[in-house]
Amino acid sequence: MISDSLQRALIAHLESWGLRRFTSDDAYFQWQRQLLSAQELSALHGHVERKRQGSAADEVAFYDATAHPRILPVLYSQRYDYYLTIGSLVASRIADAQTVLDFGCGVGILTTFYAKRFPHIRFVGVDRSAVSISQAQDKAKALGLENLRFDCREVAREPLPGRFDLVVATHALVQVEQDPGLPSRDWTTFERAHDVHQQSQFEERTGIGTRLDRLCAALSTPGRMIVFEKTRQLSRRVPFQRALTGRGLSLVEQPEPIRYRLVEEIADDGPFYLMKNEGRERLAWDESPEPDEGLPFNPSVTKPAAAGSDEPLYENHHASAQAAWQRLHNRSIVKETTKTETDGRQLHVEFGRSDEGRYLYCANTFDRRQLVIVEPARAAMLDAYYHEIAGG
Ligand SMILES: C[S@@+](CC[C@H](N)C(=O)[O-])C[C@H]1O[C@@H](n2cnc3c(N)ncnc32)[C@H](O)[C@@H]1O
């Protein structure tokens, strides 16, 4: 679906912004030190730290500082693969729109690409960082883009300017990265209760409620919306999806989890959603955990560990550990603890026997699942882990 010519055009566009692709931290940081002074780097680290605290003012200060032409290419090069991946996914879904809003457009790296690629479409980029918007305006002027304008506004305070048949928000709706989301009903399940109060608290503390209301109000009928946020964790994905469905949005295509590179690190992000605000719902919203890389549970392949080795017979730290635990044969619990931790999450730890061996199982209401099986002779090791976890 994504053509080579689109990718090539995007690569050339990122180059025109001075962005470079790195796959090694050493090479990237060496380049960073060549381009920025120690003073600039220390100021930048200060902004990153303050942004982490989560106040809106600190976030705006961070985006204002990083929009500076000396900092911009250096910092945004870390997101090179993000731009390539998300820019391609969005651009390949834009062609039949007439008016597009890019909410939280930042310095306009992607907005200017879309506008250049689709001269027949009118684009508006909105952001609350004044320096980012001024940088975006300069770039649009330099590229001679007449189908694009940028507008500086805080959507928590004022509505969006106009109505659009496509609204795009990528990494702009759920900025509070440390918000854990919504807990499951209890440790035995991944299901979330339909609790209106919990949902509205999530939307309020992450700011996503107001932002989505504004975006929906700016969407023509019929209209489409593309969103891509840090909502890969089930506990965040569920309330995020409920916020979307609660506003009458339905899926046009199956949401796609996205993996991209941040220099050396691999980011598992998204999913990428394309939705519409009118018409019959065809696709169901999925509230179950993603298929994971947990070892398939097959008792016949659990082998005795080598003498002297601490290696377990079976180990799974993913959601699929729950199904493996349920399939243990002749499971009998030796000891178990279920407790509520200080942050409200419920934790269950269980040490027991089964035909497959001695096992330790851990589960909590934020989707942690862990199953370890060892030979009976190594039970003391699991017993020690049990007390460590149960004791907090
Ligand atoms: C991580 S950047 C993403 C930029 C761009 N969308 C991209 O994909 O690269 C998030 C942007 O959203 C903007 N933003 C966050 N909350 C906003 C709000 N309430 N009103 C306007 N802009 C906002 C921030 O200023 C920031 O520039």
Supply the pLDDT for residue 294: 78
Together in a domain, 221 and 333 = no
One digit per residue, pLDDT tens: the chain, 392 residues?
678 999 999 999 999 999 999 999 999 999 999 999 999 999 999 999 998 887 889 999 999 999 999 999 999 999 999 999 999 999 999 999 999 999 999 999 999 999 999 999 999 999 999 999 999 999 999 999 999 999 999 999 999 999 999 999 999 998 777 889 999 999 999 999 999 999 999 999 999 999 999 999 999 999 999 999 999 999 999 999 999 999 999 999 999 999 999 999 999 999 999 999 998 778 999 999 999 877 777 755 556 555 566 789 999 999 999 999 999 999 999 999 999 987 778 999 999 999 999 999 999 999 999 999 999 999 999 999 999 999 87
Together in a domain, 174 and 249 = yes
- CATH number of the CATH domain containing 239: 3.40.50.150
How far apart are the CA of 59 and the centre of ligand 1, in A? 9
How far apart are the CA of 108 and the centre of ligand 1, in A? 10
Protein residue with least CA distance to atom 5, ligand 1: 105
Supply the pLDDT for residue 176: 77
Ligand 1 neighbour 154 (Cβ under 6 A) = yes
Here the tokens at position 392 are: 């907090």
Mutate which of 59, 64, 82, 105 for ligand 1? The one with the most ligand atoms within 8 Å of its CB, which is 105
Residue 295 · residue 316 · CB < 8 Å: yes
Q: Is residue 70 situated within a structural domain?
A: no
Together in a domain, 270 and 306 = no
Ligand 1 neighbour 155 (Cβ under 6 A) = yes
Atom of ligand 1 minimally distant from the CA of 76: 9
Q: Is residue 127 situated within a structural domain?
A: yes
- 3-class state of residue 137 by DSSP: helix
Q: Is residue 131 situated within a structural domain?
A: yes
| Residue at a domain's end among 209, 243, 276 | 276
Q: Kindly report, residue by residue over 236-255, the tens digit of the pLDDT.
A: 999 999 999 999 999 999 99
Ligand 1 neighbour 241 (Cβ under 6 A) = no
Q: Kindly report, residue by residue over 335-361, the tens digit of the pLDDT.
A: 999 999 877 789 999 999 999 999 999
Is the four-CA dihedral 118, 103, 78, 147 of positive or negative sign?
positive
Q: Is residue 38 situated within a structural domain?
A: no
DSSP secondary structure letters along 327-386: T-TT-EEEEEEEEE-TTS-EEEEEEEEETTEEEEEEEETTS-EEEEEE-GGGHHHHHHHH
Owner of token pair 């460590």 = 388
196-206 helix and 208-217 helix, angle to the nearest 10 degrees:
90
Together in a domain, 99 and 192 = yes
Supply the pLDDT for residue 305: 57
Atom of ligand 1 minimally distant from the CA of 156: 19
Q: Which domain holds residue 347?
A: 299-390
Residue 166 · residue 143 · CB < 8 Å: no
Together in a domain, 209 and 323 = no
Atom of ligand 1 minimally distant from the CA of 106: 27
Together in a domain, 135 and 253 = yes
Owner of token pair 């969005």 = 90
Together in a domain, 88 and 197 = yes
| Residue at a domain's end among 276, 309, 341 | 276
Q: Is residue 35 situated within a structural domain?
A: no
Rounded to the nearest angstrom, the gap between the alpha carbon of residue 301 and the centroid of all alpha carbons in its chain is 36
Ligand 1 neighbour 132 (Cβ under 6 A) = yes
Ligand 1 neighbour 176 (Cβ under 6 A) = no
Q: Is residue 315 exposed (0-12), middle (13-18) or buried (19+ Cβ within 10 Å)?
A: middle
Together in a domain, 235 and 318 = no
Residue 130 · residue 108 · CB < 8 Å: no
| Helix ranges, the chain (H) | 4-16, 25-35, 38-53, 56-66, 72-76, 80-91, 109-117, 130-142, 196-206, 208-217, 234-245, 321-326, 379-390
Ligand 1 neighbour 156 (Cβ under 6 A) = yes
Q: Is residue 285 situated within a structural domain?
A: no
Atom of ligand 1 minimally distant from the CA of 169: 6
Q: How many domains does the chain have?
A: 2
Q: In whole angstroms, how far apart are CA 94 and each of 10, 101, 292, 361?
A: 15, 11, 32, 47
Together in a domain, 305 and 272 = no
Here the tokens at position 224 are: 């489409």
Together in a domain, 211 and 311 = no
Q: Is residue 136 situated within a structural domain?
A: yes
Together in a domain, 187 and 316 = no
Q: Is residue 46 situated within a structural domain?
A: no
Together in a domain, 319 and 187 = no
